Structure 1
Amino acid sequence: MLRPRKPYKVLVVDDSAVVRQAMQKILDADPDLQVIAVAADPYVAAEKIRKQVPDVITLDVEMPRMDGITFLRRLMAQRPVPVVMCSSLVSPNSETLSLALEAGAVDIVCKPELGVKDFFEDACTVIRDAVKAAAQARLSVRPRALIEKKLTADAVLAAPGPRAMARTTEKVVAIGASTGGTEALRLVLERLPQNCPPIVIVQHMPEAFTSAFAQRLDSLCAVTVKEAKSGDRMLRGQVLIAPGNKHCVLTRSGASYGVDVIEGPLVSRHRPSVDVLFRSVARVAGKNAVGVIMTGMGDDGARGLLEMRESGARTVGQDEESSVVYGMPKEAFKRGGVEEQMALDRIPEAVMRLSAG
């Protein structure tokens, strides 16, 4: 008889007693998570870690005595533990985002906004999922509950019809990623040439950070990277990042493609959802598209990638060895949505090759 798996041990580090209490309540409500300690600053956190090493740490950015980024750097150099950075909606900036990711943060989430019921419930789902995903993260691959209602893409878009889209001269690329995806996407986009095919990306990330994330990538890559806005056209050499807390869908006018940013419920526990993007691509681009699913926990994108493949698109999945969390690519592969499975460093070449055919 199989014994139930022990819950992941979590250490919550935040200088606000109200936030510490809220985070403990949110995380302990999930049977897969257990808050073993809380700390008001990194010095107290270090003492807690010496007594019991957690499976994952939630870490505030701004704290007294030592800021979260400095503590994160020291932690990764001495005793690597998966870390989810928690930040307020009111003070995000591209420098903080870049520093947190470069220092080794597995994910970044927004602190729960108390008193706003719908937002709070969605935030709880995102926080729990991010912490569980981080606890399973393979840090070595980095180069430097409550059961929530789980909706499918049907909640936002009707399933694509059986009719294949007419082939066009231009192909579009849709990429989906979650835990570990911020750095994985950087590695992919940095290797793409300036004339790469039009790309639209869903990376699970809070709304306060997607713009900064796009700015960071734009500063590092030959391609142009920007946060998507409704009406944006899909252009060669340009990458659009779906904004946090909104779904992003592909549109078509004649032989030209664009995107719309739309409201909607959490789909596959996420907003933006990879499934929503991939379904829209299957519906309007069909065989004129390439789909790529990368590192992340859960199954968001697995159904959508299969729909893309069934509509004639070429599809790629990141392999287990190079994934921080082999969840989304694994589910897509199991369901038959992945045509080619490969290591992260081979994906840029595959994007160019498949989009040229």
Structure 2
Amino acid sequence: MKQMSAMRGEDREPPKSVPMSQIKVPVPGKAVQLIAIGASTGGTEALSAILKALQPPLPPIVIVQHIPPMFSKLFADRLNNECHISVKEAENGDRLENNWAYVAPGDKQMMVKRLGDMMQLDVNHGPKVNGHCPSVDVLFNSVAERIGDRAMGVILTGMGDDGARGLLKMREAGSVTLGQDEASCVVYGMPRAAYEKGAVLQQLPLSGMASMITNVARYQGRR
């Protein structure tokens, strides 16, 4: 509760939601190259609902779900059997491929690196950030710094505020940023924190998230 009070006391007013019809890839002519998603409490089912509704073609998807070790691989394997896209537990050095989703291991921090035109994962043991390993902020910060306006960030149901600052960096870098709305969250903590910091371009119900992700990811910069 102290954390929530502090956020509400910030001087910055949250931005008004942008109508769905007005969301566009920020740089005309440049398609989204990467989708980054963060979730915590209630996130496994939210992610399952979204990923099962997604169909190729799509850019790579990188996911941090707060989840214990071992369960992250089971979760990724389950999604791989359920989804039209391929899903795996992320490994250090993975090259990001279209129509693939990569779930961070439950005890490692995950970042995105760019090597020329190629995107690669840095997945290693590291200190907890915001009390979490993996941390959504760690992933989002790396995406903001290395992918910038060619990325999309999504923050889903979860307790606390992990991911809020990283998503703000993504929005400031020109990324499209989406947040799950209060009504469809199991816990409206992380999306609320991100929204109140001004990090969320558009709030959406869980039921509309997959179609918005698809529409934005396939947007080719029409003016």
Residue 169 (structure 1) shift: 5.0
Q: Secondary structure at the match of 2:194?
A: helix
Aligned to 2:144: 282
- Distance, in Å, in 1 between the alignment partners of 2:85 and 2:198 is 31
Task: Report how far residue 170 of structure 1 moved.
Answer: 5.2
8 Å Cα contact 1:196-1:237 kept in structure 2: yes
Are 2:42 and 1:180 equivalent residues in the alignment?
A: yes
Residues 1:197 and 2:50 are matched in the alignment:
no
Quick check: 1:271 aligned with 2:136? no
Match in the other structure for 2:187: 325
Alignment partner, residue 339 of structure 1: 201
Size of the aligned set, in residue pairs, is: 193
Residue 221 (1) aligns with residue 83 (2): yes
Match of 1:226, SS? strand
- Percent identical among aligned pairs is 50
**Cα distance change of structure 1 residues 170 and 330 upon mapping to structure 2, 3 Å threshold:** closer
User: Structure 2: how far apart are the matches of 1:198 and 1:329?
Assistant: 22
SS at 2:184 equivalent? coil
| TM-score of the two chains, using structure 2 as the length reference | 0.83
The correspondence for 1:354, drawn from 212, 216, 219, is 216
Instruction: Name the SS for the 1:321 alignment partner.
Output: helix
Determine helix, strand or coil for the equivalent of 1:222: coil
Measure how far apart 1:256 and its partner are. 1.6
Where in structure 2 are the equivalents of 1:1-357 lying within 5 Å?
A: 171-357=33-219
Which residue identity does 1:171 align to in structure 2? Q
The residue identity in structure 2 corresponding to 1:261 is V
Q: Runs ≥4 in structure 1, deviation > 4 angstroms?
A: 167-170
Structure 1: which 5+ runs fail to align? 6-164
Residues 267, 273 of structure 1: 8 Å contact kept: yes
1:279-326 CA distance string (max 9 Å, x none): 000010000100000000000000000000000100000000000000
CA distance in 2, matches of 1:199, 1:168: 17
Give the drift of 1:253: 1.1
Q: Shift of the alpha carbon at 1:195?
A: 2.0
SS of aligned partner of 1:353: helix
Give a deviation string over 1:220-275, Cα, whole Å, max 9, x none: 11110000001111111100000011000011111221211022111011000000
Deviations along 1:18-66, one digit per CA (max 9) or x if unpaired, are xxxxxxxxxxxxxxxxxxxxxxxxxxxxxxxxxxxxxxxxxxxxxxxxx
Whole-Å separation in 2 of the counterparts to 1:297 and 1:215: 25
Residue segments in structure 2 that go unaligned for 5+ positions in a row:
2-26
Aligned to 2:10: none
Contact 1:168 1:255 in 2 (8 A): no
Task: Tell me the residue number matched to 1:141.
Answer: none
Cα deviation, residue 194, structure 1: 2.9
- Local SS of the residue matching 1:240: strand
Structure with the greater relative contact order (CA < 8 A, sep ≥ 6): 1 or 2? 2
Greater Cα radius of gyration, structure 1 or 2: 1
**Distance (whole Å) between structure 2 residues aligned to residue 226 and residue 259 of structure 1:** 13
RMSD of aligned residue pairs (Cα, Å): 1.6
Distance 2:107 2:130 in 1: 13
C-alpha displacement of 1:186:
0.3
Q: CA deviation at 1:356?
A: 2.5
Q: Distance in 2 between matches of 1:339 and 1:355?
A: 15
